[in-house]
Structure 1
Amino acid sequence: MPKKAKKGGGGGKTEEERLLYLQQRAQAEEEMAKKKEEILTLFLKDKLQKEEKNTAVNLLKLNEGWRSILRQTRAAELRKDITVLSQTFERQLDGLNNVIKNLERDLQEAERQSAQVRRVHLQHLERLWAQQDKRLMVLQQQWEDALHHLSSRFRSERKQMLAHSQQQRADLEDATFTVEQQHKEVMNEIHRLYSESIASYQSTHEDRVASLGMEDKVGLKAKALQNQETLQLRKNDSEKLDELVLRNQRYIKMTEEVTKTIKELQDAISQQKVKLKSSNIEKESLEQDLKAARNEGNKRTHKLRDQLTQRHSAARKQLVDLTVQSNSAAKKLQAVIAKGERVLRVAEMCRKLEGEQENVLTPSLVVDNQRSEREELTKEIPEFPELHQVTRRINAALLHREALKKQRDDLSRENRQLRLLLRQHLDAMTVSDHTLDGPHALLAVYQAPTTTAPSDAGRRHTVIEAVHAVKQSL
């Protein structure tokens, strides 16, 4: 039993050792794999750096070579362009000189016309100013004459009215003085008569009282007589008083009439004042009319000035339009001349090509065509050799046109292929902002340029190294 236990214990230790061994082995394998990966990555990184340096150097060399080629071709093109541009510039300069001369001549003519128009305008202005001054002088003279006439008439009327009013005032003063004197005399006469009647009445009363005591009957008769006399005297006094009252009433009526005349004179004076005011108002209205006429004359002169300025501006605008139209006409004429020159050059080139096409055509084809055409023409119309020559030329031209069309199609197809190759090559050489911002700048891989041309057995193909693919994967 203890042996069995020992065996079981020994078997357990070997299991643990085996597990530890396996773990250590797995760790060692993992470390070896990591070391291999690190070594591989370091190797690849070194190789990648070397390839990057080589590609950078190759790209620099390629760029320098391409730039030198482009520089040479561009320099030749620029020289040609410069010669063409210098010629065109000289032609344009000559045309512009001619245009400038024409414009100077037109400008001198326009200045002469404007000076003539300005001179005529100044003459019209002077004539209008003279007429306006003459009219203003006539109006001023009329206004002064009317004002002098009105002032003299007003002065004479005022003097007459003042003299008449003074005369009437003196007459009124004399009449009032005489009336007052008469009134005073009448009143004094009335007082005197009244005092005399009172005194006579008192004396008679006293005499009667005195005589009553002496005489009774005789006194009574005498008193009766005296009473009758006194009554008669009283009647006389009353008649005198009535006359005085009538005279007083007449004087009162006279005073009323005098007051009425005074009122009439005052009314006449007020009417004269109203007339003076109305005449002053008329004079002010005349002055206002004269001012309005003067303002209207000034407005007309300003209006004439505005019209003249507008005409000047219109003439200037017409001159500008004329210069613009002359410039446009000169440009159109230059364009027509250039077009004519181009047409002449094209005609010359066509003539040269027409002369060359007879030499370009293949002799056999020309001979066969001429032979067949000659046979047909001799069969159909042997009596017109000129027509035969014309038809031969037309057929040759048609054949040459077909050959040129075919050649043009081939050249255009080849040109498109070359442009495609050049564009792809330039795209491969250019560095964009997207590639510069990427993790591996200047390591962009582009598709190899392809063409639609037929395959050539001796043609070399573009080889892309695997390093570029590794760069892309990393």
Structure 2
Amino acid sequence: EFDTERAIMLDQHSRETNEISDILFAMDQNFQEREREAKSDFQSLVDEIRNKDMEEMHGLRHQLTEKFNFYWNAFEQARKNYQENNAERKAAFEELKEKDDKSAQEIDFQMRKLQRISENIAQLKSKMASNAKENEQRNRSIKEERERMLAHLQDLKAEMNKLRDGERAKLTKMTVESNTAIKTMKSKVEKVKNVITMAEMCRRLETEEEKVLPFYASSLTEEEQQDVESAIQEQPYEKLSLIMHEFTSLENFWKRFNKVTLDKLALDKEKQTLVQENTQLRSLLKQYLDGISVNDEILSQVNPLLVVNNRTNVNLNVPVSDPRVRRPVPQTVVEAATHSRQLKLT
């Protein structure tokens, strides 16, 4: 039964397959015929449209050529007018365009430069951050060292102020002493000037002998002179001897000074003697004048004219007759230079 059904189904399948093949063949023939008709219609329509289009295209081309020539001439005229009217603007535009190109290049260069700078800034920031971490401890130690140095500086400043005050006091003292020394030196200079002036005045009053022999000869014997020289050469021990030994170079000065002192003393002594002699002479003159006058007052006093037993009550001790105060007879001394000049004149 299965085979029978299978045979029936196969037979039916083959019949249906043949029918379908016939239908497909008929449809294919029908479609080919319609295609040929459609192609012929299409070809004729295409030829018709092509011919029509070619005619229209020739007409349009002629019209477009005329319009193109018209518009081209108008465009050329407008272009000429535009160029004539905008030549300066075009030149300015070209210049601005060139500047714009340069500016664009400069902007590009600056942008690249800014980018490099930004990269450098970023690198520096990162480096600064790392350095900040590294140097934080160092800064802390430096800060502590700075505080110690400030404290030490304060100590040094206080000590320096103390030393400055001491030096200021020393400077003040030295200034006062310097002013005192200057005043003393000025007084000594004035004294020296006075001494020099007096020396010049005394030089004018010197005799020829004093000018030739300003220092008197020593009155010591040779033995005494040798003793003095040996004593000078010995090393002094006492303070006064040391001081005297330092001023041995002033020996000639002291000689002249001593000579002048002795002359002054002699002149003072002679002046005193002359004053005393003058006083006695005035007294004798008064007694003489009183003696030649006669009145009660004079007679009541000592009178040189009243002589009793060859004696008078008046002291007639005239100092001129006393050899102790008798003045030596002046002798004229002629200097050798004066005598030679007199001989030359004669």
- TM superposition score normalised by structure 2: 0.27
- TM superposition score normalised by structure 1: 0.20
Question: Counting helix residues as a fraction of each chain, which structure ranks higher?
Answer: 1
Larger radius of gyration: 2
Q: Report 1 or 2 for greater relative contact order, CA contacts < 8 Å, sequence distance ≥ 6.
A: 1
